[in-house]
Structure 1
């Protein structure tokens, strides 16, 4: 039975990545649900599976997607564009793609023009940190002006990162005396496979660096703990919000090595933004992103409707800073209230902070869940596992010609999440049915 399930999962992933357009929501939803259900069946049958077989199966699925063009996201043209800019010794933070093409017609080529046509943000400065740019450069250097080649190289790099995640999870499960069967929930999770390997998002590398930080802390290599955490910020800014937890955790708060390691890593990651005042445009893009875009939100959408009712217009400009302030206060409160005494409690606090942050955001793309989901596997919390399924409802928006979100599907997604949060945090006397 297990070999048959594995074969069906492999076929399902291949079909989803190569043949189902994101506009066909019901077929996407049905296939995704089948893959998620198959993963859970394997998990419950996992007493018969060794981790080596799990690893090989998940790796083969990822390798089968090597030649697929990302269908769920159109971010990759910007990745390749920025890589070409760096390869040409251009600063991707100084000019928007639109401005660069207008001002450099002699340096342009058909490849860049094609990327420009595919791009979803040609009038914005790059919002990707310098560590991302280094990866983009590697892809551009090896692609030789070929889109498929660039996608392939990005995918190979991300798969290598995923292999690192697998073995760090394996090591840390052993450290925390957790069953290695939980690897199935990450390694065969359709959100993880489709959003990292399929759609080329870098949250898998963020998780890799956070896990490396945890592993270094478990071995009392405190300087590397700070260094890996600093690099995770350099990959995506979001782990910066974990800084209060390191002040509330005694081992890191009192460690000069931790703060020196993290400072060096952050300077190495972001020092490049000081060149030609690149940081000005970088922060400008971040501010525009935070104050303009909306997608798959929960509490924010409810408050926005109140704003419409009270003021008659979209209050995103007023609401976003308020929610950011509430988020900061909440993170400080949880860090002070929990005051983790050991590594397990520190990870549990990280998961809570990620959860609190995401439910208040105006933009919650599905791949944002992956770092917190990976970390949650060390805990008894199931909210992020449930959310990795429920988030598929957000892709309903792509079935609409105007990308309009249907409130019914948002309600379904966040109702499932609300039930999971209640189960995890407000019904402590009851153990989850998924606990093993």
Structure 2
């Protein structure tokens, strides 16, 4: 499977303290026991994977901000003997894309960005066919035709300035893959351009804006765009363990020469000095639960703009191997940087991501109060990841019934 297709496949805590792990108890008698059994089955399923060393990371299912399944497996740093914990932070890969689009919708609500504006309204140096034709709306929905940036998988960057310069140059040399608005093609270039727009209209770096107006605003205290230096120094951040052809796993953070086999073949997520608008933020499972609650409660945007942010914009087929909806009817759409799916009685938003040595996925069941999070510092085969997510969905929909 190609790197692009794999990414397409991948592509709120209240004040109550977390239990250390496991299934959090609650009252409710027989009815509660019946609802709890699918949650317990899901946890045991992942536990068996971890025993076979097929999964390392954290799973969490929360209802109205309160975790009902919360368990950590495996090691965050094998060399130092540090285990994954519920609050361990993981590289989200593309599961961080919705942060850049959320920032743009916040600025649109403030009247600082217009969805119909062309890219050239805000930024200079792009090819005329890009600057004059691509709209903010199209970049938000992967319908701009900008595709993904060309990149050197072996490139190692050493500063924010270097990373910004390389991205800016690549963006301005990019050509359209199709006329804007005529197709839907998942990619990162439009998101990277949106990040530049955030900086242009706010006077803040993209990273500072997201840290202040998204992460800090909802108490996502462990979520950041960490630099490689910070990643190495902070024992609360999981190291990525990339699967190799011989079945072994290598610590990508400590071995920048090592390359992924299935998580973006040929890449290493630690080579970039810092992530950006299209990939590479870090978060813990509790922080993503907080994010889900904030979106469900209209904390980051008013009600109308939350609806605008999460609402379907463009029909999108489910990724290959996506969990079966069973007897429920499924309609999948692209929202503003999010996947927005109608599945039976549920409206589910979220995003997934995969890097060498890592997978991440978060889903919010709008109006029902449920959030599901899977974070791993192993790169997982797409089939296995989809199986895990299918089990998570079964557990949540059964518990919500």
TMscore range, shorter length:
0.3 to 0.5
Greater share of helix: 1
Report the structure number with the largest CA radius of gyration: 1
Greater share of strand: 2
